[in-house]
């Protein structure tokens, strides 16, 4: 298979990859192990749909209380109003993932060749970093808001527009109502404004700001009377400023998102009891699995680091305002650089040390330097590019199949809908109208 073949049959390859991603997302969803994170979302949604009680706050965070706003309740309860089935909110989540892919792909299509678009489809849509969060908890929604932020910013790179400015700010506000990593998007927007990489329509900006503030009024009213919304902690804002490790770990996640060094929950928690019940044989499979994933992951982290370093050297002269015009690929690399800056600032201000889900909204952006480098590889070594693309797709599919059936957060032994029905019965949550 060569590049010309990929170009001629691009629609078939992209459609096949997209369909496989959907099947994997459904497989993950059905095998998710229900924990407190999912029940927080489900309880708010069912409470709204069944009893018309829409709580104005989201999930409880590690150290700073519940996130503000009622979006967490509506993304679960809204679909339940239309279809009273546990799969209704899951289908909305998967639908938002589809929209995120389409928005990212619209930008990739405008900048890169079709083979690199296929690489993005594999690197984003089939990637375990994305699919492993195919469950009902708040970070799972964040890639949608990153896509909305990125796509709207790209639309604003040449001239102001009310709708895209409105959506750009709304992306920040939507992320804010789901997770405390939302300042990452705000910092990126500030850099885009400083570098004149986006030209906002201020009427759209203020209109979106007004919508966000109005949506938070119930939360502020609740906050004044509900002491449980604020949480005491021995950590403090700015913890990362005086500790080196939280910042270094956050930057390392940027490199890991661009690599195949996935979460340890995928690598170390597979039991392989679905292959054999013989304990020593299970141990053999476990050690082989871990060895392969760690070796491949470590190698790709090194590659990602080299690519990021070269990307940084290429755009370093363009960082400051007034440092010259930029083309579309440079725009993407500067957006990625702004994301790294935002990660560092967020890590310095955060009262906690991040785990992978705290920065998962930056994962799609970490792919941008890889795509820019791949455009050069495609022209210099087209045969290797095609072989690498096919091997990467096969590797991702195998990892996803194992992780969706046998990992810390997923197992083939459970059924999502049955677990939800059991939890509803245990909590006595029934429809009142």
Residues 183-234: tens digit of each pLDDT: 999 999 999 999 999 999 999 999 999 999 999 999 999 888 887 776 655 5
The number of residues in the chain equals: 433
What does the mean pLDDT of the chain come to?
A: 92
Q: Determine the 3-state secondary structure of 133 from DSSP.
A: coil
Pinpoint the alpha helices (H) of 84-127: 87-111, 114-120
pLDDT at 262 over 70: yes
Q: Which residue from 99, 189, 105 is spatially nearest to 144, judged by alpha carbons?
A: 99
On the question of pLDDT at 61 being above 90, the answer is no
Q: Are 131 and 123 contacting, i.e. CB atoms less than 8 angstroms apart?
A: no
Number of helices and strands in the chain (H, E): 20, 2
Helices in 258-367 by DSSP H: which ranges?
A: 264-267, 279-315, 328-349, 363-366
Q: Where does the pLDDT of residue 90 fall: very low under 50, low under 70, confident under 90, or very high at 90 and above?
A: very high
Measured CA to CA, the distance from residue 335 to residue 2 in angstroms comes to 32
Does residue 79 surpass a pLDDT of 60?
A: yes
How many CB atoms neighbour CB 202 within 10 A? 10
Band (pLDDT 50/70/90 cuts) for residue 423 is very high
Q: How far apart are CA 150 and CA 139, in angstroms?
A: 17
pLDDT in tens, 366-400: 999 999 999 999 888 888 999 999 999 999 999 99
Compute the distance between CA of residue 115 and CA of residue 351 in angstroms, rounded to an integer: 42
Q: Which of 222, 189, 195 is nearest to 68 (CA)?
A: 222
Give the span between the Cα atoms of 23 and 26, in whole angstroms: 5
Q: DSSP secondary structure string, 227-255?
A: GGGS---S--TTGGGS-HHHHHHHHHHHH
Residue 36 has pLDDT above 70, yes or no: yes
SS3 content of the chain, % helix, strand, coil (to 5): 70, 5, 25
3-state secondary structure of 63: coil
- Compute the distance between CA of residue 172 and CA of residue 65 in angstroms, rounded to an integer: 19
pLDDT at 131 over 90: yes
Three-state DSSP class for 58? strand
Distance CA 427, CA 185 (A): 37
């Amino acid at each position: 298979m060569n590049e010309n073949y990929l170009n001629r049959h691009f629609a078939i390859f992209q459609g096949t990859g997209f369909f496989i991603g959907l099947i994997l997302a459904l497989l993950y969803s059905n095998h998710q192990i229900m924990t407190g994170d999912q029940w927080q979302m489900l309880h708010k949604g069912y409470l709204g749909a069944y009893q018309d009680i829409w709580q104005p706050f989201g999930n409880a965070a590690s150290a700073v209380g519940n996130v503000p706003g009622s979006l967490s309740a509506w993304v679960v309860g809204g679909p339940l109003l239309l279809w009273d089935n546990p799969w209704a909110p899951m289908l909305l989540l998967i639908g938002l993932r589809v929209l995120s892919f389409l928005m990212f792909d619209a930008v990739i299509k405008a900048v890169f060749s079709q083979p690199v678009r296929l690489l993005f489809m594999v690197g984003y849509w089939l990637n375990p970093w994305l699919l492993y969060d195919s469950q009902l908890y708040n970070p799972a929604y964040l890639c949608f808001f990153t896509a909305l932020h990125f796509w709207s910013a790209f639309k604003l790179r040449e001239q102001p527009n009310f709708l895209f400015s409105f959506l750009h700010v709304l992306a920040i506000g939507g992320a804010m109502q789901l997770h405390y990593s939302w300042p990452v998007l705000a910092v990126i927007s500030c850099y885009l404004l400083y570098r004149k990489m986006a030209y906002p329509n201020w009427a759209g900006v203020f209109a979106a700001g007004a919508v966000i503030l109005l949506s938070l009024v119930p939360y502020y009213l609740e906050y004044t009377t509900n002491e449980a919304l604020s949480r005491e902690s021995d950590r403090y804002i700015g913890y990362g400023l005086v500790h080196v490790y939280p910042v270094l770990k956050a930057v390392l996640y940027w490199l890991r998102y661009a690599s195949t060094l996935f979460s340890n929950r995928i690598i170390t928690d597979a039991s392989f009891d679905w292959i054999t019940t013989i304990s020593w044989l299970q141990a053999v499979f476990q050690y082989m699995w871990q060895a392969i994933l760690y070796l491949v992951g470590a190698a790709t982290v090194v590659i990602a680091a080299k690519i990021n370093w070269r990307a940084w050297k290429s755009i370093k002269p363009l960082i400051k305002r007034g440092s010259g015009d930029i083309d579309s690929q440079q725009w993407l690399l500067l957006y990625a650089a702004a994301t790294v800056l935002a990660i560092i600032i967020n890590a310095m201000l955060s009262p906690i040390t991040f785990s992978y889900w705290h920065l998962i909204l930056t994962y799609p952006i970490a792919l941008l330097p890889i795509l820019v480098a791949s455009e050069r590889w495609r022209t210099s070594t087209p045969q290797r590019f095609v072989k690498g693309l096919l091997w990467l797709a096969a590797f991702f599919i195998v990892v996803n199949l194992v992780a969706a059936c046998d990992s810390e957060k997923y197992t083939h032994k459970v059924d999502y809908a049955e677990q939800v029905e059991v939890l509803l019965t245990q909590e006595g949550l029934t429809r009142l109208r």
